[in-house]
C-alpha cells in the first residue's frame, strides 16, 4: 500500500501536525480499543491517590512506500505491564521540563533513537492508566528515515515496526478474553507479528488512527 495518499513523507508530516493542533477525538476514540466491560476508573484518577506522570512516544518513520511505528515488548517482571507490547515511554523525572521531553528521553534510552533526530508534531489526548496509576501524555514524533534501533536489553525484549497502513486496515479489532481474578475482561487488540497489543497502547494507537482518518 502506498504511503497513505501523499506524495512524500514531508507532506504527510505537515498534514498530521496540522491535524494534531485541532480538537482531538480523545475518549470517544480511546474507548473503542478499551477493555470491556468499560471501567470508568480507566479514564479518571482517584483524587485521594494522585497519579504518577509519564510520557510515551508514537514515533513515525518512512520505509519505502509505508509509514511505520516502533513498538517494544517489555521483559517479564513483577509489575502491571510485565511482558506487554508498548510504546517507548516512562516516568516523568526531575530532569524533564515537560512530558514531551520525558517521551523523547525515554525513546532514546529504551530503543536508541536519538532525541535530537526526532521532530515533534504534537500530542494526543492525555490518558489515565488505572492498572499502574499513571497519567500519560502521548507525543507524536517523526524521523525522516528508518532509525537504527539499539534496544536497552534491560527494558526491551523485542522491537516490532508495524505499518500505519496495517493498523488503519483494521475495521473490526479482534477481541481477546483475559482473566485477572476475580475479573474477566474482553479486550480489543491489534495483532502485530503474533503479539497482542492491547490496553493503553491499543487505545493510544486507536486515537491516532482516528486522527489519521481525518487527513
What is the pLDDT averaged over residues 185-200? 95
95-134 burial code (b ≥16 CB/10 A, e <16) = ebeebbbbbbbbbbebbbbebebbebbbbbbebbbbeeeb
Rg (CA), the chain: 16
Distance in angstroms (rounded) separating the CA atoms of residues 84 and 178: 13
What pLDDT is stored for residue 80 in this prediction?
A: 54
CB 127 within 8 A of CB 107: no
* Whether the predicted pLDDT of 5 surpasses 90: no
pLDDT over 50 (residue 1):
no
Please state which CATH number belongs to domain 9-213. Answer: 3.90.79.10
Cell numbers representing residue 13 in the block: 508530516
Residues written for the chain: 215
CB 104 within 8 A of CB 142: no
How far apart are alpha carbons 196 and 181 in whole angstroms? 20
Q: What share of the chain is helix, strand, coil (3-state, %, to 5)?
A: 25, 30, 40
CA–CA gap between residue 69 and residue 58 (Å, rounded): 7
pLDDT over 90 (residue 182): no
42: pLDDT strictly greater than 70? no
pTM, full prediction = 0.92
Amino acid at each position: 500500500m502506498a504511503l497513505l495518499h501523499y506524495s512524500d513523507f514531508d507532506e504527510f508530516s505537515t498534514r498530521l501536525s496540522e491535524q494534531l493542533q485541532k480538537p482531538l477525538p480523545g475518549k470517544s476514540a480511546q474507548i473503542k480499543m478499551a477493555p470491556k466491560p468499560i471501567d470508568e476508573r480507566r479514564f479518571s484518577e482517584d483524587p485521594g491517590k494522585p497519579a504518577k506522570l509519564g510520557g510515551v512516544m508514537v514515533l513515525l518513520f518512512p520505509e519505502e512506500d509505508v509509514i511505520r511505528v516502533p513498538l517494544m515488548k517489555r521483559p517479564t517482571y513483577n509489575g502491571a505491564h510485565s511482558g506487554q507490547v508498548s510504546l517507548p515511554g516512562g516516568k516523568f523525572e526531575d530532569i524533564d521540563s515537560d512530558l514531551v521531553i520525558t517521551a523523547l528521553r525515554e525513546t532514546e534510552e529504551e530503543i536508541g533513537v536519538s532525541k535530537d533526530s526526532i521532530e515533534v508534531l504534537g500530542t494526543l489526548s492525555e490518558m489515565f492508566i488505572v492498572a499502574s496509576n499513571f497519567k500519560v501524555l502521548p507525543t507524536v514524533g517523526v524521523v525522516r528515515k528508518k532509525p537504527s534501533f539499539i534496544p536497552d536489553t534491560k527494558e526491551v525484549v523485542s522491537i516490532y515496526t508495524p505499518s500505519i497502513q496495517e493498523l488503519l486496515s483494521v475495521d473490526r479489532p479482534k477481541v481477546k478474553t483475559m482473566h485477572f481474578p476475580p475479573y474477566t475482561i474482553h479486550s480489543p487488540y491489534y495483532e502485530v507479528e503474533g503479539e497482542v497489543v492491547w490496553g493503553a497502547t491499543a487505545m493510544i494507537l486507536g486515537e491516532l488512527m482516528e486522527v489519521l482518518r481525518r487527513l
